[in-house]
């Protein structure tokens, strides 16, 4: 009896001792949700997610830990418990756990190394980068003496309109939509070597209306710069003067003299740039919205208020418009006409010829690191004799809709019509008439239709149009 009581006492004492060790050690602190102290991992995670360091998106606030984190936590729990057992009772299972821990650590080191490499690579990229463009060399050199075999094809056939934005060097604020100043200079020299002459908005309008005078350049080009970057005064104006050229700027007023936007002009700086005599000015709406997503009343306000503000601030008549993001629909065109604009520019590539619709002027984006061959392809593309859509450019459509398209002046065998990269032709009725069907898209709000081919003389042709995918809107804006 005495022996049994003694054994019971010893067991009770060991039980109390073990309980005390567990409650005071790291296992309790890790497992207890009410514990005041934290594990090293929790402290590190707390620092990573501290509101003072990083603002947590709402989508992350309610998300559960990833499977990798959960697995790691589970292993650490098991290993912490195992560390409190007497060394004499360590089993092969615990040893395997330790071995497994070493493997995980190596994997983690590799993951950390990869993340650091990704971080280093990301630091070399630019804000708002354009996939497939921003990674190209910023200072591509153009050699006018080593043109492509097709360099002369199409030059002089229609007017190319080029669309630029910022002109900042490395670590630019606009990613793909910025151009290194040295590259702009390369392009200006290249244009001059090919015999191109820049024209004003007034000259372009006269040409588009079929009223170009006898002194109109044989190879005209219209240079346009959107938004109102400070570099338009500091970089663009000096280069235009140096090469005897001119350009047009499209401005949205809310960014001008706004202390939040250090890369943009003030009203005084804008006026100084315009007074240089080498710039024209047009509207880019009030605050650069996606116009087709707005109600008609909002569209009207954007177009009228911008025009009024720019005229009041600059003292110049505003007659032309550039659609923000190049987006428009039939309502936008109607409101642009009503607001008193004579022309409106898209960012749909293609040449402009007399008779090109004044409110869907084709314009090609010039982006970061653009190669000489790509730049030349914009200049040399030859427009077809005629392209006629069975629906208006800028129409609201939905997958399955079909309509005819007439294309004249291109080799029928070369004609391809793509809608946001997908096949658009469902029937070739004749050598000039095609039936087009809108394909299914995944989250494509503004599908572009591109007509490509070759002229009968073998010259490359590319012309683009824009639609609005009704399926992406829960309801029409109006």
Average pLDDT over residues 436-454: 96
Average pLDDT over residues 329-354: 97
Q: What is the pLDDT of residue 145?
A: 74
Q: What is the pLDDT of residue 470?
A: 96
Residue-wise pLDDT for 189-234, tens only, equals 999 999 999 999 999 999 999 999 888 999 999 999 999 999 999 9
Res 86 pLDDT > 80: no
Average pLDDT over residues 462-471: 97
Q: What is the pLDDT of residue 71?
A: 41
Least confident of 36-45, 104-113, 348-357, 446-455: 36-45
Average pLDDT over residues 296-309: 98
Least confident of 56-70, 299-313, 437-451: 56-70
Q: What is the pLDDT of residue 138?
A: 66
Q: How confident is the model at residue 117 (pLDDT cuts 50, 70, 90)?
A: low
Q: Is the pTM of this model over 0.85?
A: no
Q: What is the pLDDT of residue 153?
A: 58
> Between the ranges 20-34, 50-64, 270-284, where is the mean pLDDT highest?
270-284
Q: How confident is the model at residue 168 (pLDDT cuts 50, 70, 90)?
A: confident
Res 58 pLDDT > 60: no
Q: How confident is the model at residue 151 (pLDDT cuts 50, 70, 90)?
A: low
Q: What is the pLDDT of residue 132?
A: 52
Q: What is the pLDDT of residue 125?
A: 43
CA angle, 307 then 311 then 314, to 5°: 135
Average pLDDT over residues 21-42: 33
Q: What is the pLDDT of residue 353?
A: 95
Q: What is the pLDDT of residue 142?
A: 87
Q: How confident is the model at residue 137 (pLDDT cuts 50, 70, 90)?
A: low
Q: What is the pLDDT of residue 67?
A: 38
Least confident of 173-177, 327-331, 430-434, 436-440: 173-177
Q: With pLDDT > 70 as the criterion, what percentage of the chain qualifies?
A: 68
For the chain, what is the mean pLDDT?
79
Res 166 pLDDT > 60: yes
């Amino acid at each position: 009896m005495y022996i049994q009581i003694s054994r019971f006492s010893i067991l009770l004492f060991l039980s109390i001792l073990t309980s005390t060790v567990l409650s005071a050690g790291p296992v309790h602190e890790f497992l207890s949700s009410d514990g005041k102290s934290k594990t090293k991992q929790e402290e590190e995670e707390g620092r990573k997610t501290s509101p003072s360091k990083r603002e947590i998106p709402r989508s992350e606030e309610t998300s559960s830990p990833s499977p990798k984190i959960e697995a790691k936590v589970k292993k650490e729990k098991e290993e912490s418990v195992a560390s409190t057992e007497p060394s004499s009772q360590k089993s092969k299972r615990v040893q395997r756990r330790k071995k497994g821990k070493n493997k995980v650590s190596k994997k983690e080191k590799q993951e950390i190394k990869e993340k650091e490499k990704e971080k280093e690579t990301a630091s070399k990229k630019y804000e708002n980068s354009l996939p497939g463009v921003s990674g190209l060399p910023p200072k591509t050199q153009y050699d006018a003496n080593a043109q492509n075999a097709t360099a002369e094809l199409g030059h002089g056939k229609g007017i190319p309109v080029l669309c630029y934005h910022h002109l900042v060097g490395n670590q630019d604020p606009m990613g793909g939509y910025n151009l290194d100043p040295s590259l702009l200079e390369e392009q200006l020299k290249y244009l001059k070597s090919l015999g191109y002459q820049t024209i004003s908005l007034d000259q372009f309008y006269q040409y588009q209306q079929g009223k170009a005078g006898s002194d109109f350049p044989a190879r005209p080009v219209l240079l346009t710069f959107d938004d109102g970057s400070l570099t338009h005064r500091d970089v663009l104006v000096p280069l235009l003067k140096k090469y005897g050229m001119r350009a047009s700027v499209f401005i949205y007023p809310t960014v001008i003299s706004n202390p939040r936007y250090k890369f943009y002009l003030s009203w005084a700086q804008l006026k100084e740039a315009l007074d240089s005599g080498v710039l024209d000015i047009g509207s880019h709406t009030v605050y650069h919205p996606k116009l087709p997503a707005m109600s008609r009343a909002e569209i009207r306000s954007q177009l009228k208020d911008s025009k009024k503000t720019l005229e009041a601030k600059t003292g110049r008549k505003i007659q032309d418009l550039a659609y923000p993001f190049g987006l428009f629909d039939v309502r936008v065109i109607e409101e642009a006409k009503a607001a008193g604009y004579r022309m409106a520019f898209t960012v749909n590539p293609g040449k402009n010829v007399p008779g090109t619709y004044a409110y869907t002027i084709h314009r090609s984006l010039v982006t970061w690191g653009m190669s000489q061959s790509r730049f030349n392809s914009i200049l040399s593309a030859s427009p077809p004799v005629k392209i006629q859509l069975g629906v208006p450019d800028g129409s609201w459509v939905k997958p399955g809709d079909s309509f005819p398209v007439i294309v004249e002046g291109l080799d029928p065998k070369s004609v391809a019509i793509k809608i946001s990269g997908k096949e658009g032709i469902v029937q070739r009725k004749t050598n000039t008439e095609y039936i087009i069907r809108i394909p299914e898209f995944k989250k494509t709000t503004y599908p572009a239709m591109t007509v490509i081919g070759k002229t009968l003389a073998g010259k490359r042709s590319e012309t683009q149009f824009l639609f609005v995918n009704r399926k992406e809107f829960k309801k029409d804006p109006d």
